[in-house]
């Protein structure tokens, strides 16, 4: 299609070639491609953002794929920049170790280990940690902090090399990355080959049903290639000699699934929750491209889009200065699909890596939170709307001087 994007012609889970468009969002630049302010504006191409449902297995996915080297080699997101995520991983590590009764010195391999936050918590609990992270600078910093990290993409070849050098893994983890992988067949084959006979692969990914019901449509961007449900995953793992034997619902990322996978015929008995979740999806018609659930979802997005655009136009007509709070990948999707790139004066973000940058494509300047005092906006549009309560609590002084907050989702509200 272009220098950085290809279009798949088959489902990445089952290989089927019959698929249906279920959601089309406005094209955007690469969602997290914030530009250093010192470099100034640069031309950034927008790429289509279309979600398809496979008619063969029911898997929802983007078929337009940006070269992962473009997305991840210079990646700047780190786990510690997401509010509450480090504490979440601390509880996650303890829960998994207790649930699986992991022995001391068990090898844990975290794929997409980022800055090593999760592995650090496993190491505190007495397990051996090994990270795999393709962003070179992040991997280097993680290794320097005491979490050995391979600066590579995870492949079957790397899996064989790690097994030879470190032995089989009793636990393999992958968090908020499974949805980002185009070659899931190759990746999971590598997981299978690295996993000890009694080992467990645990991955956490945002859940398509929660994505729909919680209206977190801004989680759709080019990094997020897959939108998982249980039945397609069951079939996919079985095709590779693996079994999805347990599930847990977690609240992160607008609603996620924590999935537990073992070798087919492994020592753990499948829990009833897997079949129950698959049955609920079937009752909701979640693998049908003509499902009422999808129609309702599209209508809800467009309703909120109209309301937010009208409210911002009214405020602009009154001469109000408007700051957007939140400079993440989801921000790019939200402001482009809502058509409000020219209704915001600048962005504010608490992540130092995003400060003093320009947003993708429309090049809104990103400031730290002191800009609320220095630049005195009249209205803060909370683009990081899942954290609205925390942001409003942090900006109490702004509220006391008469500032107002506009929350765009799941319902447009001016506070």
Any domain includes 405: yes
The count of domains in the chain is: 3
Give residue-wise pLDDT tens across range 5-59.
889 999 999 999 999 999 999 999 999 999 999 888 888 999 999 999 999 999 9
pLDDT of 73: 57
Q: What is the CATH number of the domain that holds 119?
A: 3.40.50.150
pLDDT of residue 241: 98
Q: What per-residue confidence (pLDDT) applies to 75? A: 55
Inside any domain, residue 56:
yes
289-294's contacts with Cβ under 8 Å and 24+ in sequence apart are 289/20, 289/22, 289/53, 289/55, 290/20, 293/212, 294/22, 294/23, 294/212
Please list the residues that pair with 131 across neighbouring strands.
Answer: 110, 149
Q: Sign of the C-alpha dihedral, residues 150, 156, 162, 164?
A: negative
Residue range(s) defining the domain that contains residue 324: 292-414
Q: Are residues 23 and 157 in the same domain?
A: no
72 in any annotated domain:
no
Residues 247 and 323 in one domain: no
| Residues 139-183 pLDDT 10s | 999 999 999 999 999 999 999 999 999 999 999 999 989 999 999
What pLDDT is recorded for position 2? 58
- 106 and 205 both lie in a single domain: yes
Predicted confidence at residue 111, as pLDDT, reads 96
C-alpha to C-alpha distance for 92 and 79, rounded to whole angstroms: 14
Instruction: Please indicate, yes or no, if residue 287 is contained in any of the structural domains.
Output: no
Residues in the chain with pLDDT values less than 70: 1-2, 72-85
The structure's pTM equals: 0.91
Query: 227 and 337 share a domain?
Result: no
The alpha carbons of the chain give a radius of gyration, in whole angstroms, of 22
Looking at residue 86, its pLDDT comes to 77
DSSP 234: H
Whether 227 and 375 map to the same domain: the answer is no
Burial 122-137 (b: 16+ CB within 10 A, else e): bbebebbbbbbbbbee
Q: Considering the domain boundaries, does residue 276 fall inside one? A: no
Task: Say yes or no: 250 and 112 in one domain.
Answer: yes
Same domain membership, residue 84 and residue 57: no
Give the integer Cα–Cα distance in Å for 306 and 235: 40
Query: What per-residue confidence (pLDDT) applies to 201?
Result: 98
- For residues 187 and 161, membership in a common domain is answered with yes
pLDDT given at position 246: 98
- Distance between terminal CA atoms of the chain? 44
Whether residues 245 and 353 share a domain: the answer is no
Beta bridge partners of 6: 65
Q: Are residues 58 and 87 in the same domain?
A: no
Distance CA 286, CA 171 (A): 31
- Which domain CATH number covers 314? 3.40.50.720
């Amino acid at each position: 299609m272009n220098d950085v994007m290809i279009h798949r012609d088959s489902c990445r889970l089952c290989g089927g070639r019959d698929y249906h468009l279920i959601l089309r969002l406005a094209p955007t630049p690469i969602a997290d491609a914030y530009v250093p302010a010192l470099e100034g504006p640069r031309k950034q191409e927008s790429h289509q953002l279309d979600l398809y449902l496979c008619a063969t297995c029911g898997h929802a996915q983007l078929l337009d794929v940006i070269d992962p080297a473009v997305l991840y080699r210079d990646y700047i997101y780190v786990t510690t920049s997401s509010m509450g995520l480090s504490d979440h991983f601390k509880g996650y590590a303890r829960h998994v170790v207790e649930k699986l009764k992991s022995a001391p010195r068990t090898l844990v391999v975290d794929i997409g280990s980022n800055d090593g936050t999760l592995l650090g918590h496993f190491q505190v609990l007495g397990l051996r940690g090994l990270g795999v992270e393709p962003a070179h600078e992040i991997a280097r910093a993680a290794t320097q902090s005491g979490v050995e990290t391979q600066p590579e993409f995870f492949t079957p070849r790397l899996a064989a090399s790690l097994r030879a050098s470190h032995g089989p893994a009793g636990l393999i983890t992958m968090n908020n990355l499974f949805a980002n992988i185009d070659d899931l067949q190759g990746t999971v084959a590598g997981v299978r080959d690295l996993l000890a006979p009694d080992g467990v692969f645990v991955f956490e990914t945002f859940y398509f049903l929660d994505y729909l019901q919680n209206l977190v449509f801004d989680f759709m961007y080019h990094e997020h290639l897959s939108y998982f449900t249980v039945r397609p995953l069951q079939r996919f793992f079985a095709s590779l000699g693996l079994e999805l034997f347990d599930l847990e619902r977690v609240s992160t990322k607008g609603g996620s699934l924590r999935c537990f996978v073992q070798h087919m015929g492994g020592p753990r008995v499948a829990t009833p929750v897997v079949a129950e979740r698959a049955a609920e999806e079937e009752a909701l018609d979640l693998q049908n491209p003509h499902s009422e659930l999808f129609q309702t979802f599209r209508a809800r997005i467009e309703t909120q889009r109209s309301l937010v655009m009208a409210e911002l136009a009214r405020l602009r007509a009154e001469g109000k200065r408007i700051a957007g709070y939140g400079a993440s990948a989801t921000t790019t999707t939200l402001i482009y699909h809502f058509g409000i790139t020219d209704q915001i004066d600048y962005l504010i973000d608490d992540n130092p890596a995003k400060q003093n940058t320009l947003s993708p494509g429309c090049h809104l300047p990103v400031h730290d939170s002191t800009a609320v005092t220095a630049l005195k906006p009249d209205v803060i549009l909370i683009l990081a709307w899942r954290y609205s309560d925390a942001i409003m609590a942090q900006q109490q002084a702004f509220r006391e001087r008469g500032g107002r907050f506009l929350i765009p989702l799941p319902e447009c509200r001016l506070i």
